[in-house]
Structure 1
């Protein structure tokens, strides 16, 4: 497994902030609408949450923080005061993206910065915010009834990162639901059907007594999830249902359901 380059993450953040802003300012978008994949939020709240996370990461990297910074200390972290103006929300989001990308490019990938997953570099935040955007942009896009696209290399890396997060949670939070993902002889295969061999967008996830382990590759498994890469990504993040659409589940569906119920993050 190879991480994308730091510049690639920065480019992806820049592009996706623009795409999310387009959703916010699109004619007919209802910012008060409930987000089906995050039903506790309206579309406006989702966007403010996402932009706030980007500003928080920017402040961490810019100040080379040695510990977490309370969200209330992030300047304009909650967004513009006007809750009814899509243009103001879009402008705030655009400024947020410019700030974060500029700070990340200036820092490079190796600046020492606090991080919550054991990786204490600015590169961690470039990657984390790329995928924070990828998933919450999907939430927003689907809520607005618009088509969603994500670059294949970003989608594949988002699955890699998700699996690494599950590994981290198992190691550090023994009371978390993810700790139940243990036991011998069970495995999950993710198979993207629409990518090039060079991308190698297939994964084997093994649930062992020692914890989750995974690798890229094509192998037989207890259950397989097959479909276009974007759909596999969104289903694995619980943003798309397994039934219907372009996805296919082969083998013991119960194991995949078991995983999806317990492999959660935020």
Structure 2
């Protein structure tokens, strides 16, 4: 993550890829990463989330997720419209402007371009896998996530979602010190539990602990979001510590 990511540009690029999938894959196709959902359900979820984020950015305050009716337009066109609305809202608000978000992190507008980019990345993986043969799903999902975005996604999980889930009352995913290493980007993290259920300490640029998990940045990101099995990662140290972390709830 040495080069800053243009989250808005990457959001728009990834959203265009998602729209392209909607044009080519049956909307009734099952989404393996979201059991019980079709691709149409996924499009509604992602598009309504974009409208929600746009309303928050423009108001600066918490808003209800809109109840979206099934669209009479093509799924790709409707989704592209929600993408354009969110991109316009991001451009209209200074990233340093105070703005509500759902996590116990700094309440600034810049949160949303990063968050919606990663939301789109993970659901692009879901959409691509919905259109792939069962034996091609893992590989097709990995190719949908550029390494630098995946590394930033891992960092977002540690900085945003671990504290969010703790704040919502879930058991901590980090109960023993663990290291995480992205073999392709060189990014490393050490997660250290803090007493009394507070958010874990996150130390970047080193990976140490009772266990160290290694894999490509995309493998790490998709494992944290439960889109790949933890068995794709390499474990150094105590395998029980690694297994407990991977089984924990690091993401919604």
Is the aligned partner of 1:56 residue 2:52?
yes
Mapped pair 1:72 → 2:59: no
Matches within 5 A, 1:98-113: 98-113=84-99
Q: Which range moved further: 163-172 or 104-113?
A: 163-172
Does the 8 Å CA contact 1:169/1:176 hold for their aligned counterparts? no
The residue aligned with 2:125 is: 138
> Take 1:165 and 1:193, find their aligned partners in 2: how far apart are those partners?
23
Structure 2 residue matching 1:139: 3-state secondary structure: helix
Counterpart in the other structure of 2:12: 14
Do 2:178 and 2:211's aligned partners in 1 also have CA atoms closer than 8 Å? Answer: yes
Map of 1:85 onto structure 2: none
Residue 234 of structure 1 and its aligned partner are, at CA, apart by: 0.7
- Do residues 208 (structure 1) and 202 (structure 2) align? no
2:223 corresponding residue in structure 1: 235
Q: Residues 222 and 79 from structure 1, CA distance in 2 versus in 1: closer, same or farther, beyond 3 angstroms? A: farther
Residue 113 (structure 2) aligns with: 126
For 1:51 and 1:15, how far apart are their aligned partners in 2? Answer: 15
**2:101 alignment partner in structure 1:** 115
Pick closer, same or farther for the CA change 1:78–1:11 going to 2, 3 Å: farther
Q: In the alignment, is the contact (CA less than 8 A) between 2:52 and 2:66 conserved in 1?
A: no
Q: Is 1:94 matched up with 2:80? A: yes
Taking the aligned partners of 2:64 and 2:161, their CA distance within structure 1 comes to 24
TM-score, length-normalised on structure 1?
0.81
Question: What's the offset of the Cα at 1:100?
Answer: 0.9
How many residue pairs get aligned? The number is 241
Encode CA deviations 1:145-203: one digit per residue, 9 max, x unaligned: 27333233321111111112244236633x3123x644xxx3222211122xxxx4111
Give the 3 Å change call, closer, same or farther, for CA 142–253 of structure 1 in structure 2: farther
Stretches of structure 2 lacking an aligned partner (at least 5 in a row): none
What is the rounded CA distance, in whole Å, between the counterparts of 2:8 and 2:184 in structure 1? 25
Higher strand fraction (1 or 2)? 1
Which residue of 174, 179, 186 maps to 1:189? 179
Q: Distance in 2 between matches of 1:78 and 1:136?
A: 20
Q: 1:242/1:261 Cα in 2 relative to 1: closer, same or farther (>3 Å)? A: closer
The match for 2:238 among 252, 261, 264 is 252
Counterpart of 2:205 in structure 1 is 217
Report how far residue 90 of structure 1 moved: 0.3
SS at match of 1:265: coil
Greater shift, 134-143 or 219-228, is seen at: 219-228
Aligned residues of 1:167 and 1:213 also touching (Cα < 8 A): no
Unaligned runs of 5+ in 1: 83-87
Question: Is the contact between residue 52 and residue 78 of structure 1 (CA under 8 Å) also seen in structure 2?
Answer: no
Q: CA shift at 1:114, angstroms?
A: 1.8
- Aligned twin of 2:160: 165
Report the TM-score, using the length of structure 2 for normalisation. Answer: 0.85
Alpha-carbon distance, 1:2 to partner:
8.4
Determine if the alignment matches structure 1 residue 37 to structure 2 residue 28: no
1:176 pairs with 170, 179, 184, which one? 170
CA RMSD of aligned residues (A): 2.4
